[in-house]
Chain A
């Protein structure tokens, strides 16, 4: 059971928009805490997609966006492409556990 809760799977057709939710608590996604997102393509290492709730590293397409509200966060992917098919993980820091926590991951099918 992961500290951060994500849906196990989402799907969408090419060109559509999908969102992936990440639900936590006041000790991890609450005020003052940041949420980060990673994309893991099959058989590869995770790649940072969004950091600090809404920021994209250089090279990440602007089709990917992040948001946070209260103790939940979301990753949105616009204009779905076949290459977006991957596992997506949210991540934060948990003050009660004094460590980094991940969501269980969401498998995106395009």
Chain B
């Protein structure tokens, strides 16, 4: 069974930065695209970003374009999300998900990011 474990969430002031990690196991990590999906408190799901299996293609939601950077290290089976210029509206639980052709077969447990002064 696929296992995804996010880390790196926490409390940050507006304008600050944070890097999330997602450790993957029990599947061939480099063969699959991976995505980040977030959920603001009490709200619905919002797709944030996707990266292809080899890392050569990256896609972003308009709400984070230019501020967030997705990357991966296939030698470490780890997905990353570098978040810069954070805003209050970025406050959410961030999930990493195994991306099977633009649907999400497996999800991590999520990591909470709180942006507040």
Residues of A within 8 A of B (CB): 2, 34, 36, 38, 40, 44-48, 51-52, 57, 89, 91, 93, 97-105
Chain A residues with CB below 8 A from B102, complex form:
34, 93, 100
Closest 3 CB pairs of A and B: A100-B47, A36-B103, A45-B107
Structural contact, B50 and A100, CB atoms closer than 8 A? yes
Could you say which residues of chain A place their CB within 8 Å of the CB of B105? Answer: 48, 51, 57
Decide if B104 touches A46 in the complex (CB within 8 Å).
yes
Interface of A is mostly: strand
Q: Point out the residues of chain A lying under 8 angstroms from B50, CB to CB.
A: 99-100
Q: Which of B32-71 contact A (CB under 8 A)?
A: 35, 37, 44-47, 50, 59-62
A99 engages B61 (CB within 8 Å): yes
A51-B100 contact, Cβ under 8 Å, with A45-B109, A97-B62: yes
